[in-house]
Amino acid sequence: MKRTNTFAVRPLSQAGERVLRDLLDASAALWNEVNYERLMRYNDEDGLEDEGVWDADTGSLEGQYKPVLGASTAQQVIQKHSNAWTAFFRNKQQYHDQSDDSVTEHPSPPGFRGNKDDGRVLKGVIRKDAYSVEWGMRSRLEMIVGEELRDRHNSLKSRLRLEIVGEPNWPDYEDQGRLELWYDETDGTFRASQPVTIPDDTRATPLADETAALDIGANNLVACTTTTGEQFLYDGSQPFEQFREAANRIAELQSKLDDQRRTSKRIDRLYDQMYGRRDHAQDALVRDLVERLYVDGVSTVYVGDIRDVLSTHWKAEVNAKTHNFWAYRRFIHRLECVCEEYGIDLLEESEAWTTQECPGCGEREETERNGDLFRCVCGYEGHADLKASQVFLERETGTEVGLMAQPVRLKWDDHHWSEIPHSLERASPNEERTNRSTHRTVGNLASVESA
């Protein structure tokens, strides 16, 4: 399994910090110079595009920065930059391919990492064999630096040594990838990202052979139904409200900038906070959900392939939710990773008509949704998203699901997803659910309790 250790690092001295800053600044400068050469060829009047960018003389630039970065690090910066351009051309081809809807917005070439006058983004990459990590009571990171920096930090073996802050998620691994280092200006911390390969025998084994289906949204981030009758609903109103408030504040600050400026350090910090909060809530949701499914004996999870839904919407708020806040692809990638840890198979299938279809009579045309409430002419009423996940699950498994418990509703409090009590009698989220029925009678028909 491929996983990533992300941790903070701390130089052991002021001299070590200056060396680290110089190393990352030189990495950013090399990136910028290579990018300039390739952009010049990409924008050439002859229109050579992808063929032209690879003609840039990266060898001389590598030689220029080798005394500071070291040969291996200079090569890795250029290699990572090449990967960024390769990804750009691939996305551009997919964007212009009418049969491929995976890229919905016109991609842009790789950008610059600031400049010397206004400040460069301190970010670099170290080749996998040019650094070592030692985990333990005094965890350490050591890396090779160029000759011009070797005698300035007084570390053993002329390798820059950094202290690792915190514990790794994956201390036991078979192989490591190239290390990424950057300076987080939001909290003034140096951080590192280490890709690792985890032995397959660390993967958990599902406790049973149950199945779950997810309805992914923006108002309710996830609605889930399992073949055991459990239902989980994650409310997205709090995370989105924080996201929208931050976006409005950014727009306000941008309106006050000079015509020549597009951003500022304050705006950059707000962007980091906005997306950081979103990612934190999303990652915590995935972990909480998969752990619940594992305990419930789920071995297979179905999630809707909704790329057709991610088209630009005329309403600005909906567009912000689907494209910026929703971050569907990121969510699916995170879900894949955590499901893999627990030995759970994740399958993407079409969820067409699950929103419109009534689980009671199968009607699709004569149904309506008003907020979270779903109604059908047959008399069925229920929570729209939970109902959609139920229909999705029944379609994929070919069996009718008997809902045996009240849906578990969860709300984000900036740190955890906590259960919302269903009634005054159930004051504690940890109390056992005693009401095992989720249906009520409407005339002679059964319906799911609305949220």
Question: Which is nearest to 37 in space by CA: 52, 16, 17, 21?
Answer: 52
pLDDT (tens place) for every residue of the chain, 451 residues total: 888 999 999 998 899 999 999 999 999 999 999 999 999 888 875 544 566 788 889 999 999 999 999 999 999 999 999 999 999 998 888 888 888 777 777 888 999 988 776 678 899 999 999 999 998 888 999 999 998 888 777 665 678 999 999 888 888 888 999 999 999 887 789 999 999 998 877 788 999 999 999 999 878 999 999 999 999 999 999 999 999 899 899 999 988 888 777 788 788 888 888 988 999 999 999 999 999 999 999 999 999 876 555 444 445 555 555 556 778 888 999 999 999 999 999 999 988 889 899 998 989 988 999 989 999 999 999 999 999 999 999 999 999 999 887 899 999 998 899 998 864 333 333 333 333 333 333 333 333 333 3
Question: Distances from the Cα of 226 to the Cαs of 82, 126, 299, in angstroms?
Answer: 44, 44, 11
- Domain residue spans in the chain? 2-202, 210-357+391-424
Burial class (CB in 10 A: 0-12, 13-18, 19+), 92: middle
Which residues are 412's β-sheet partners? 417
What SS3 class is residue 53? helix
How far apart (Å, rounded) are the C-alpha atoms in residues 215 and 289?
Answer: 13
> Per 3-state DSSP, what percentage of the chain is helix, strand, and coil (rounded to 5)?
40, 25, 40
CB–CB of 285/234 below 8 Å? yes
Which helix (H) or strand (E) segment holds residue 75: the answer is helix 71-96
Query: Given the structure tokens 């950094």, which residue do they identify?
Result: 162
> What is the per-residue DSSP string for 403-446?
--S--EEEEE-SS-EEEPPSSTT--STTSPP-----EEEETTEE
Tokens encoding 181: 């280092």
